[in-house]
Chain A
């Protein structure tokens, strides 16, 4: 409880400090200020990535995209077979960020109160009173391991925390500390005793990332790093304040109107009812991506542009982030499922159609 309050106050103090700078006051930035913020952004990102790579081998895109989502304040759903380092990645990031980290192993018997906390009866000064005992969500980085093993009721307990970043118990709302990220994992193969995440909750994830099998050299490097007596020591290199500041910085990255139209076109074309959508979309997609997907793509594209050394969003940024941002937001039709069509294929088709 004490830690939680300290983190909240520290977070609020950080916010006040950053708001005093010209970069974040909303009145535009000077060129030098922007230059400084951009360089700082890249610097922190590169330091953070380098620290993570001390432990993690390969998975370049996954690391970049997880950091991208964290900078944008989004949650990530990591999907991959067991043993690929999903949990290790989240652990490493949490350690490198110098933020509080909690892990919840989702099981079918997990209850919502096990996640968000509950009121417990305690005796204080001779009186018995109810006191709120925070759950594991009261942290900065929450690892929801094997999230699809919990019941939908328990899964939905995360809805409010992910979107509102608040917890309401017995009519009392408890704000979570900032920043707050949920990094969830799920196993795509083992389907027995699992509960697929509802669309509403899937839509709240910023990215859905596929963790792929490392190649031979990466395998060898993993064995070298983890098979010895000592493991790499991960030092915290970035604070939550810096992450928040990075998130605000990217919001200043401009996007040209025509490129923004392209982004909108990409999202709209995922809808089968759009007259210009490709035939594959009309045939295999039941529901397209939501406007939240467009927000996600824009934010992620800005981060990618800035990391690429540019000060504007390019079409290639949008193309690059569209797949992880929309693959969990497309709901395939029965025909699509039956023919083994993946959302990634649909999204690439849409991107090609939008480019014409």
Chain B
């Protein structure tokens, strides 16, 4: 009875085609639902609907539909049952299918098969028509059209601006990173040329600079620059030798009072330590010179050493008083109890300078005394005098050498400090660009009369100007930065104000606020700032913020 089997197969095939068509329409409707929902979510958030959603969603839905069709498709038995129900064959085809499957074909089974065969010969397969799910079709069409129309909607102005800002931040961070890299490389070369590698570990700084990333998020960008700034500040604070410089300056002023040491005094006052080191060599005692010459050299050395020693002693007295005052103050204020490492370094450096000055002074006095004695006993102990003076002059010269080397070190640290300050300034200057966010519709933040006019295009108040001179603040208005420990004072933090220029404050209130936030963030992250000071700064800016919100 192949006729019956073929008939059932054709019914099955027809039913599965119908099912496939229905599932296809259902898949399209489902795809329409999902794409419409996705489009609505994007549009509510202000975004343009990414077009990749459409093929992806419909492909997934069609694939899911195929899977559904595969699991829902009619079996041979189901097709037989459908045939019975559809053509009112009273379970004839179904029974035949079951009997045939069980291998029963004789007797009444054969009669049943003949009867079924006769029954299906009278019916036409074409009468099984596809029932189109009109509601589902209508739903699919409506949803697909709706999702397609939603796909044409562009980004909202807010999102456009946001994207521009992100692009701007990426470009700006890329530029800043390149600039910082270049500056770091320059500093490294300078340090190598000046053989100052031991003073600053530039490789560590380079590693940190290389870790800087390009990011669309301005907060992330500012955070990483603030972190770098803080680390550079720490390096800078280690290089700080302000107390020693002040002592040397005071010594220089004392030396300026005497004509013989005026040149050295000028150099010390002007912080030209390298020149001062060389100038100090002029005060060396020549043990081979004549007694008169040696006498003059000793007088000159004595004058210099006495003034330096005197100033050193005065400084040490003042320091000890200041220390005791600071100690009592520290007891009153808990936050002052944390001593900075750089202060200790400075103190030890100052002590060392004072000690060297005193040693030099002692050597000079001893030589002077020996010279006086030598003059009185010149005739009797000439040979003995020469040996004693030679040894003393070697000690004095040695002390002078030590002092010279100290000044050379000071000079090196001064140069390294200058480089680090330059790098910090360049970093701060680079970050200024992050504050110049693009504004919509030509309301640029950089006015034409600003020191850095122009921009990428209308509405983009940006400046691509590259700071080629690290260490020099660009005259860009009142750029107030919290730079950390730059000098001595009651507080370890000083507010350094850049040089005032001809420019006006170009930032809008929002930009200024962001800038202040960045600075505050940088400041409060510093470990060397006492908590009380941090809390005060925080409170100050919170108050400002509250006032702004209230207005």
Contact = CB atoms under 8 A, between A and B. Distances in A.
- Pair from one complex: yes
A132 interface: no
A48 interface: no
A316 B96 CA distance: 16
Interface string A5-31: 000000000000000000000001111
Nearest to A249: B108
Of listed A28, A253, A258, A316, residue having the most chain B CB within 10 A: A258
Interface size, A (range): 20 to 34
Given A254-B104, A258-B94, 20 more contacts: A28-B107, A29-B108, A31-B106, A34-B111, A254-B109, A256-B94, A256-B97, A257-B98, A257-B102, A258-B81, A259-B95, A310-B92, A310-B112, A311-B109, A311-B112, A312-B95, A312-B99, A313-B95, A314-B90, A316-B91
Interface of A: 28-31, 33-35, 38, 252-259, 308, 310-316
B115 interface: yes
Given A28-B106, A310-B90, A256 B111 contact: no
B370 interface: no
Nearest to A31: B110
A341 to B, nearest CB: 30
Of listed A33, A35, A258, A312, residue having the most chain B CB within 10 A: A312
A255 B99 CA distance: 9
Given A258-B77, A258-B98, A252 B108 contact: yes
Interface of B: 77, 81, 90-92, 94-99, 102, 104, 106-112, 115
A312 B91 CA distance: 8
Contacts of A310: 90, 92, 112, 115
Nearest to B102: A257
The secondary structure that dominates the A interface is loop
Contacts of B98: 256-258
A259 B106 contact: no
A169 to B, nearest CB: 42
Contacts of B90: 308, 310, 314, 316
B94 A33 contact: no
Contacts of A312: 91-92, 95-96, 99, 108, 112
A35 B92 CA distance: 17
A35 B114 CA distance: 11
A255 B96 CA distance: 10
A254 B112 contact: yes
Contacts of A253: 108
17 contacts: A28-B106, A29-B106, A34-B108, A34-B110, A252-B107, A254-B109, A256-B95, A257-B98, A310-B90, A310-B112, A311-B108, A311-B112, A312-B99, A313-B91, A313-B95, A315-B91, A316-B90
B91 A254 contact: no
A310 B95 CA distance: 11
B111 A35 contact: yes
B375 to A, nearest CB: 131
Contacts of A35: 111
B111 A259 contact: no
A311 B111 contact: yes
Contacts of A34: 107-108, 110-111
A335 B12 CA distance: 48
A254 B108 contact: yes
A146 to B, nearest CB: 40
Nearest to B97: A256
A26 B92 CA distance: 24
A251 to B, nearest CB: 10
A342 to B, nearest CB: 28
Nearest to B85: A315
A347 to B, nearest CB: 20
Given A29-B108, A34-B108, A311-B108, A254 B99 contact: yes
B161 to A, nearest CB: 61
Contacts of B99: 254, 256, 312
Contacts of A314: 90-92, 95
A36 to B, nearest CB: 11
